[in-house]
A and B are shown apart, each in its own frame.
Chain A
Amino acid sequence: MTKASITNVKTPSSALADRPASGKVSVRNVTKIYDPEGVHVVALDGFSMDIEAGDFVAIVGPSGCGKSTLMNILAGFDTLTTGEVYLDDQLLAGPGTKPLPGSDRVVVFQQGALFPWMTVLENVTYGLMKKGVLKRAEANEKGIEFLERSGNLGRIANSYPAQLSSGMQRRVEIVRALINDPKILLLDEPFRAMDTVNKNRMHQHLLRIYQATRKTIMFITHDLEEALFLADRVIVMTTRPGTMKMDIAIDLPRPRDHAMMASEAYLALKQQAVFAVREEAKRAFDRGEREMA
């Protein structure tokens, strides 16, 4: 790995962008049952939540708590059994609706989903070209502009994903999501398995982007610390069947940096949540081991 230290990109203003007009999500009483005739696994059980446009919401829960199911329903990869999901008061999913992915709700996955055979720029502009809105040259221009805006990524426009570190890949993926001007960004544990230093950098990066764009963000994670640090609101889910266990407002000031993690207010919030999360993790873990026996 060559180390290419680049110019400091702390430029984005500290001001938080205004609340956008669209990007409001309403999840109403959603239940999801896998294989109702056979094993009958209740992944979500009457789950409801409302996300204001421009909010950063983190959802924390153990494996199998239904948080990925929720995200898949929102993204249009999966159906729900009962209940409704609305995006800006338009029905997105209900019983019997066809799952429909759209560029207004883009997912950044945990393993990364860049096309390995395309350069960074081709990856980023793929959505634009596919829709046929823009010509190649225009799309490229826009792609470069977006890459530049996200921390001088223009310099890697012609690299292939395999040449990048996982942190860089994740950044490119976020750019690819943003360029389509989505109403909501869905992040599925994007920084999993990174070491502390790199993860913290990605947190800063994501927060800068959030400050500047104020997109509605739904961030799924196992990691309470990460959730508290990033979000306006942390929702703790129970292990299967997934319901809401706790809904904590994180009214810590923005912009945030890691020094905040030593503040009284932060520690108080952490104290409040840490047992709830641990309890669910333990329950999920014990059940898992029982089921294997």
Chain B
Amino acid sequence: MSSAQGALLGTSLAKTYHVKDQPPVEVLKDCSFEFEPAMLNVVMGTSGCGKSTLAHMLAGYVRPDQGTLTIDGEPITDSGPDRLVVFQETALWPWMTVEENVVFGPLSRGGSRSKAVAASNNLLQRFGLGEFKDKYPGQLSGGMMRRAELAQALINSPKVMILDEPFRGLDVMTRELMQEYYLKLFEDTRLSTVFITAELEEALFLADRIYLMSDAPGRIVKIIDVDLPRPREISCTATKRYAELEQEALAALYAGQGEEDQL
């Protein structure tokens, strides 16, 4: 991995959605951040706080109404294979086999099939999916699908990986296993990452740095440096330092929120 690629800088981003016959929804307002490269940056907020919109902006699918967004100093104007999103629960195309899903990217850009297939075999083997390359996504378990999604993105060697609640929908235990798995992958590659989640435990376990988002209209309200040593294992969640960071984050999450929840 060449060093320090994939620095993302957002300044005063704002976005309002207008749906016909409904009041406009302000999802982001004055949202600024600096995601450093080769770091696992976690954006955390409650459901509906505009996290996904932020992910879509980084990928170039959605334009901000106001503010600027750059990658390594270049403004982001369109989508591209340098910034790939792993979507929550829907990344794989169900009508393609696992292998077809993985090689889709390289082939789309005119790569040779044999090279793409070789690279795909490599990745799938590494993710323990070697035997499953000819299956359709619907035939895989949740944990396997998540790994296939990672392979589908990684084969394109992006500068930044954007993961939008990738492990949502998995049960807690499988989810923890996938987190460990993903953590190892990150610690090996140090690929610049923006990881979006609504789960504090996930954020603390994975992150180098957590960016807490306010409720909509979302902006970054607090940054927490997670200085737990790497490589991390599950036991780090039972340490004093983890508990302190957890308390710090919880306090920030509750601040500015009503005491009881909404209808």
Contacts and interface: CB of A to CB of B under 8 A. Distances in A.
Contacts of B234: 274-275, 278
Interface stretch (B11-19, B114-122, B247-255): B247-255
Interface stretch (B55-63, B66-74, B196-204, B221-229): B196-204
A172 to B, nearest CB: 12
B258 A3 contact: yes
For the residues of B in contact with A, the DSSP-based class is: helix
Contacts of B238: 267, 270-271, 274
Interface in A240-293: 258-259, 261-262, 264, 266-267, 270-271, 274-275, 277-278, 281-282, 284-285, 288-289, 292-293
B49 to A, nearest CB: 9
Nearest to B201: A225
14 contacts: A1-B48, A5-B260, A9-B260, A195-B199, A198-B261, A222-B171, A258-B250, A271-B238, A274-B237, A274-B238, A275-B235, A288-B143, A289-B143, A292-B141
Nearest to B242: A267
Contacts of A149: none
Interface of B: 46-48, 128, 131-132, 139-141, 143-144, 168-169, 171-174, 176-177, 198-201, 234-235, 237-240, 243-244, 246-247, 250, 253-254, 257-263
Nearest to B257: A197
Interface of A: 1-6, 8-9, 62-63, 151, 156, 159, 163-165, 167-168, 192-193, 195-198, 200-201, 221-223, 225, 258-259, 261-262, 264, 266-267, 270-271, 274-275, 277-278, 281-282, 284-285, 288-289, 292-293
Given A1-B48, A261-B247, A262-B246, A151 B176 contact: no
Nearest to B248: A262
Nearest to A155: B263
A196 B198 contact: yes
Contacts of A197: 46, 253-254, 257
A281 B259 contact: no
User: Which 5 residue pairs spanning A and B have beta carbons closest together?
Assistant: A5-B258, A195-B198, A281-B173, A222-B172, A262-B243
Contacts of B143: 285, 288-289
A6 B139 CA distance: 46
B177 A165 contact: no
A271 B261 contact: no
Nearest to B215: A3
A18 to B, nearest CB: 28
A1 B49 CA distance: 11
A262 B263 contact: no
A200 B251 CA distance: 12
B260 A195 contact: no
B177 A163 contact: no
Contacts, number: 116
Contacts of A151: 260
A271 B237 CA distance: 8
Given A151-B260, A200-B250, 5 more contacts: A2-B263, A6-B258, A165-B261, A197-B46, A292-B139
A236 B234 CA distance: 17
B99 to A, nearest CB: 16
B206 to A, nearest CB: 14
Given A9-B260, A163-B263, A293-B132, A270 B177 contact: no
B134 to A, nearest CB: 12
Contacts of B46: 195-198
A261 B239 CA distance: 11
A293 B238 CA distance: 35
Nearest to A151: B260
Contacts of B254: 197
A168 B263 contact: yes
B177 A285 contact: yes
Nearest to A264: B240
A206 to B, nearest CB: 14
Nearest to B131: A293
Given A262-B243, A267-B238, A270-B237, A156 B263 contact: yes
B141 A8 contact: no
Contact of B173 (A8, A168, A264, A277): A277
B262 A289 contact: no
Contacts of B144: 289, 292
B139 to A, nearest CB: 8
Given A1-B48, A196-B200, A262-B247, A63 B263 contact: no
Contacts of A261: 243, 246-247
A4 B262 contact: yes
A5 B259 contact: yes
Given A262-B247, A267-B238, A3 B173 contact: no
